């Protein structure tokens, strides 16, 4: 009784272990693919913000590229689309708006301000174009937009 | 919620393995004991709670603990089959290990001055060496156990972790080991920090060899050598170190009897099969008897191998779960090392990078050394298989290192 059961279950055992290994490797693979997918889609048709700071020198987590495929808010608190733990950013710092293929940016009442080409902007929307510099906190970005 | 179930999936095979394993073990032990069921439930509960906490509190990389939980499950099932009392103890060690895992995680994330404590690591390791030399008792030919009441602690396991931290903090601030303005016979001399570091490393290895802890000595040398390579040292520095190691190896082969015995067994275990070669020969028989899928849990005779619960547990796994089970264990260590290297690559602060690499190298090389030993690929040196072998010190220090790795993975 025990012998037959153990003999059958040893195959089940091996199969389960390999299913486990497969699922881990699959998740790791998806992890890698989602990282490279980010880089690929950034070269696609969406406009994006490119970081001008040297990322390795910043003491917090920040991406090289932020894709603007919709309205996006930026700030330190977790309810923003772009969460960056920069101490010079406000909780809700600024917002990027997409209207009819144009991109607008507005400040959301931040302490240290939002700058477009070194000019401080207020809570009114400002249109930005390809190559414009946007500064928030200690970070500066350049807007890349295919015409 | 959908994302939660998706991430929860890989835990199911681990639970299933445990359920099948303890079901078989319940039938295997006559008369039927409820303790088996409770042990199984305890292991499953520990694994599930830890995994849920890692996911809920977002403690970083979740694959690391998944892989380790599978290894621990396989280890405890095998231990339970070999020796029930040891397995129950191991479950208690697992609980302690997981508690230490979380503790180390939080300490590592809260405390920022790890790279400044280089002399503390050095002092701790040397203190342990002196203490073991003076007070330790001799167990199984290795003089490195500290007794506190009824408990025994294997000092070399703690020294391993301290050495990794020492390495990491040295490569973060190398100038700390520079000795300047040393007065010797009226002249001021400066000793380069590289030389000081190499001497310190060889001191560690020398002490371990004196304590007859050959496996750990070889492990520390391998980690040290790989760190020289990774840090981009001069080719000549590496060549000189390789020469010193080879000369040291040959000298210890000629001078020390127990090393000569190990090498002789490795060359030909069949020459003295009834005595000195018995252990390795039995291990090879066990692996051979298993075949592809093994004999099945409880149907083999792994108890014929001496020390099967600690060093030779891989042979027992191979016998009862087959070559496929053995390869699965190796595979699991492979992906573990892969994750560790990836964490090290993603880390930005040098100390985190070095510590993650050191811990990963330690686990990977330790696995290689003991698996090579039991399969007669390299001479056998007594060292545990991380997370699988029986051993409180080994399991808890394994989880401490894992806690550090987990903390580093969450920082970036």
Q: Please report how many Cα atoms fall inside a 13 Å half-sphere around the Cα of residue B96, on the Cβ side.
A: 14
* Strands across the sheet containing B137-139: B137-139, B142-148, B151-154
From the list B67, B325, B412, the residue facing A61 with the nearest CB is: B412
In the beta sheet, which residues pair with residue B145?
B137, B154
- The predicted structure's pLDDT at residue A40: 56
B32 CA: distance to closest CA in chain A (Å): 13
Residues of B in contact with A56 (CB under 8 A): 348
Residue of chain B whose alpha carbon sits nearest to that of A23: B10
Residue whose entry in the numeric block shows the structure tokens 């909780």:
A91
In the beta sheet, which residues pair with residue A104?
A97, A127
Residue of chain B whose alpha carbon sits nearest to that of A1: B27
Report chain A's mean pLDDT, rounded to a whole number.
82
Q: pLDDT-derived band of residue A39, with 50, 70 and 90 as boundaries?
A: low
Determine the length of chain B: 412
From the list A5, A16, A25, the residue facing B24 with the nearest CB is: A5
| Surface-to-core class of residue B93, CB atoms within 10 Å of its CB (0-12 exposed, 13-18 middle, 19+ buried) | buried
- The predicted structure's pLDDT at residue B4: 46
- The predicted structure's pLDDT at residue B209: 85
Please indicate if any CB of chain B lies within 8 Å of the CB of A39: no
- The predicted structure's pLDDT at residue B397: 93
Q: What are phi and psi of B325, to 5 degrees?
A: -65, -45
- The predicted structure's pLDDT at residue B2: 45
Contact B61, B366 (CB under 8 A): no
* pLDDT above 80 (res A61): no
- The predicted structure's pLDDT at residue B60: 82
Please indicate if any CB of chain B lies within 8 Å of the CB of A34: no
* pLDDT above 60 (res A86): yes
B99 CA: distance to closest CA in chain A (Å): 25
* Strands across the sheet containing A94-99: A82-83, A72-75, A94-99, A102-107, A126-128
Residue whose entry in the numeric block shows the structure tokens 């303005």:
B181
Strands A139-144 and B137-139: unpaired
Distance CA B202, CA B200 (A): 5
B355 CA: distance to closest CA in chain A (Å): 18
- The predicted structure's pLDDT at residue A34: 61
Sign of CA pseudo-dihedral A67, A68, A69, A73: positive
| Surface-to-core class of residue B278, CB atoms within 10 Å of its CB (0-12 exposed, 13-18 middle, 19+ buried) | middle
A47 CA: distance to closest CA in chain B (Å): 26
Number of domains making up chain B: 1
Distance CA B302, CA B283 (A): 8
Residues of A in contact with B299 (CB under 8 A): 3, 6-7
Structure token digits, residue B49: 């709670």
- The predicted structure's pLDDT at residue A85: 82
- The predicted structure's pLDDT at residue B3: 46
Q: What are phi and psi of B254, to 5 degrees?
A: -75, -35
Residue of chain A whose alpha carbon sits nearest to that of B28: A2
- The predicted structure's pLDDT at residue B190: 76
Low-confidence ranges of chain B (pLDDT < 50): 1-8
Interface of B with A (CB under 8 A): 9-10, 13-14, 16-17, 20-21, 24, 27-28, 63, 66-67, 70, 74, 293-299, 320-322, 324-325, 328, 331-332, 335, 338-339, 348, 412
Residues of A in contact with B332 (CB under 8 A): 21
Residue of chain B whose alpha carbon sits nearest to that of A55: B348
> pLDDT tens-digit profile of A87-120?
888 888 999 988 888 889 999 888 888 999 888 8
Range of the domain at B182: 2-410
For chain B, what is the HEC assignment?
CHHHHHHHCCHHHHHHHHHHHHHHHHHHCCCCCHHHHHHHHHHHHHHHHHHHHHHHCCCCCCHHHHHHHHHHHHHHHHHHHHCHHHHHHHHHHHHHHHHHHHHHHHHHHHCCCHHHCHHHHHHHHHHHHHHHHHHCEEECCEEEEEEECCEEEEHHHHHHHHHHHHHHHHHHCHHHHCEEEEEECCEEEEECHHHHHHHHHHHHHHHHHHCCCHHHHHHHHHHHHHHHHHCCCCHHHHHHHHHHHHHHHHHHHHHCHHHHHHHHHHHCCCCCCCCCCHHHHHHHHHHHHHCCCCCCCCCCCHHHCCCCCCCCHHHHHHHHHHHHHHHHHHHHHHHHHHHHHHHHHHCCCHHHHHHHHHHHHHHHHHHHHHHHHHCCCCCCCCCCCCCCCCCHHHHHHHHHHHHHHHHHHHHC
| Surface-to-core class of residue B372, CB atoms within 10 Å of its CB (0-12 exposed, 13-18 middle, 19+ buried) | middle
What's the start-to-end Cα distance of chain B, in Å?
Answer: 25
Structure token digits, residue B22: 């303890």
What's the start-to-end Cα distance of chain A, in Å?
Answer: 75
> pLDDT tens-digit profile of B198-217?
889 999 998 888 888 888 99
Distance CA A5, CA B296 (A): 9
- The predicted structure's pLDDT at residue A111: 86
């Amino acid at each position: 009784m025990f012998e037959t059961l153990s003999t059958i279950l040893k195959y089940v055992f091996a199969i389960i272990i390999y299913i486990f290994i497969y699922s881990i490797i699959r998740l790791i693979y998806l992890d890698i693919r989602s990282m490279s997918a980010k880089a690929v889609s950034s070269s696609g048709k969406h406009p994006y913000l490119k970081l001008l700071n040297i990322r390795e020198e910043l003491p917090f987590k920040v991406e090289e590229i932020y894709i603007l495929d919709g309205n996006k808010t930026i700030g330190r608190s977790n309810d923003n689309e772009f969460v960056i733990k920069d101490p010079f950013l406000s909780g809700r710092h600024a917002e990027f708006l997409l209207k009819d293929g144009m991109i607008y940016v507005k400040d959301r009442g931040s302490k240290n301000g939002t700058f477009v080409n070194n000019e401080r902007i207020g809570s009114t929307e400002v249109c930005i174009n390809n190559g414009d510099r946007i500064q928030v906190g200690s970070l500066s970005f350049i807007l890349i937009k295919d015409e | 919620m959908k994302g939660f179930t998706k991430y929860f999936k890989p835990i199911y095979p681990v639970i299933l393995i445990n359920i099948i394993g303890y079901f078989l073990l319940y039938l295997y032990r006559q008369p039927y004991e409820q303790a088996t069921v409770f042990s199984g439930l305890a292991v499953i509960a520990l694994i599930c709670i830890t995994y849920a906490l890692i996911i809920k509190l977002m403690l970083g990389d979740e694959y690391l603990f998944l892989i380790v939980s599978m290894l621990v499950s396989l280890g405890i099932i095998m231990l339970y089959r070999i020796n029930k009392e040891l397995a129950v103890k191991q479950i208690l060690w697992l609980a302690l290990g997981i508690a230490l895992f979380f503790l180390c995680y939080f300490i590592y994330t809260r405390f920022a001055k790890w790279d400044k404590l280089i002399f503390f690591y050095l002092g701790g390791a040397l203190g342990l060496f002196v203490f073991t030399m003076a007070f330790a008792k001799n167990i199984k030919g290795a003089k490195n156990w500290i007794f506190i009441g009824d408990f025994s602690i294997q000092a070399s396991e703690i020294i391993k972790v301290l050495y990794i931290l020492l390495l990491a903090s040295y490569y973060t601030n190398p100038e700390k080991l520079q000795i300047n303005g040393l007065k010797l016979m009226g002249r001021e001399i400066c000793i380069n920090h590289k030389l000081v570091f190499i001497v310190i490393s060889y001191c560690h290895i020398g002490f371990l060899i004196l304590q007859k802890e050959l496996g750990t000595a070889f492990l520390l040398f391998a980690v040290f050598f790989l760190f020289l390579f990774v840090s981009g040292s001069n080719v000549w520095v590496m060549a000189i170190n390789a020469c010193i190691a080879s000369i040291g190896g040959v000298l210890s082969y000629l001078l020390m009897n127990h090393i000569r015995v190990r090498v002789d067994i490795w060359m030909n275990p069949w020459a003295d099969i009834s005595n000195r070669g018995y252990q390795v020969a039995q291990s090879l028989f066990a692996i051979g008897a298993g075949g592809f899928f093994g004999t099945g849990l409880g149907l083999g005779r792994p108890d014929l191998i001496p020390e099967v619960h600690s060093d030779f547990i891989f042979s027992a796994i191979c016998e009862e779960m087959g070559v496929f089970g053995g390869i699965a264990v190796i595979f699991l260590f492979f992906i573990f090392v892969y994750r560790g290297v990836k964490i090290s690559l993603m880390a930005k602060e040098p100390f985190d990078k070095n510590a993650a690499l050191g811990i990963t190298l330690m686990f990977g090389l330790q696995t290689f050394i003991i698996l090579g030993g039991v399969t007669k690929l390299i001479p056998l040196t007594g060292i545990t298989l991380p997370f699988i072998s029986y051993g409180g010190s080994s399991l808890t220090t394994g989880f401490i290192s894992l806690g550090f790795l987990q903390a580093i993975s969450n920082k970036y």
